Amino acid sequence: MTLNNVTERAMENKVVVVTGAGRGIGRGIALQMAAHGAKVVVNDAGVSLSGEAGNESPGEQVVAEIIVQGGEAVANNDSVAEWSGARKIVETAMDNFGAVDCVVNNAGILRDRIFHKMSPEEFEDVIKVHLSGSFYVSRAAAEHFREQKSGAFVHMTSASGLVGNFGQSNYSAAKLGIVGLSKSIALDMNRYNVRSNCICPFAMSRMVGAVPDDDGRVEAAKTLTPDKIAPIAVFLASDAAEEINGQILAVRRNEVFLMSQPRPIRSVHRSEGWTQETLAAHMLPSLKSSFLPLERSFEVFPWDPI
């Protein structure tokens, strides 16, 4: 799927907020949004991968790139992890461009740790940036979307949440939580012509690069470049995707997957109800063949990216 097959300049005169847009996937999305005519708020707090404050201003560098290419953009360095910061991000769009039409929730950090050693702070910090941050920025924009009766949210989930991974209970919980958040937004705001979808990106980024490469999977991921993610983000933000709402699309190099969402698989019934004994004797053997194994994403996607 390429955007050029849908329409040229698909985001003409639309205003887009991209969080965590100073590097990697976010940078690629911001650049391509601008290339397709959007006015872009490039948000990046300039923190390290684990969330520590730094002196860098990567968002301003991306803005400079966009302007050199003839686009319109403005930088914002507020944190998505605070409600006040999220509101300032959206206010930056309103103050500079007079509107907001799309939010791409991409900002994130990692604090990987095996579960029994993970501290409450490591868990809460990751939840705050990914899940709370996606809520804060979306909620701030929702007021404008409701008033104008249009808008699009694009949220970043992860195979770590949808499938699972070692040492990432905080990140996995946040990313699966984002799926629930997106679906609820889609249900609540569909009446206002507002759409909310998730992308599950397979791409080499600072986050992937920080994962221990015991089996060579990180090395293989270097072929999955962030530029492969940007077209689907632009498409979902555009009017051409008006029929897509509440969905999860995974992007793996040149492959696009529609991901499943929890639905009943099988059922068993006893008219008299259940006891501990009948659950063991009847329910367990009846459903066991349909249990999902403990897998990680590379076991669910075992073939080379194509």
| CA nearest to 227, candidates 25, 22, 33 | 25
DSSP label of 293: P
Q: Beta strand 255-258 with 248-252: parallel, antiparallel or unpaired?
A: antiparallel
End-to-end CA distance of the chain: 13
Are residues 238 and 210 in contact, defined by beta-carbon separation less than 8 angstroms? no
Query: b/e per residue, 224-261, with b = 16+ CB within 10 A?
Result: bbbebbbbbbbbbbbeebeebbbbbbbbbeeeeeebee
Catalytic residue ranges = 171
Residues 6+ apart with CB under 8 A from 258: 247, 248, 249
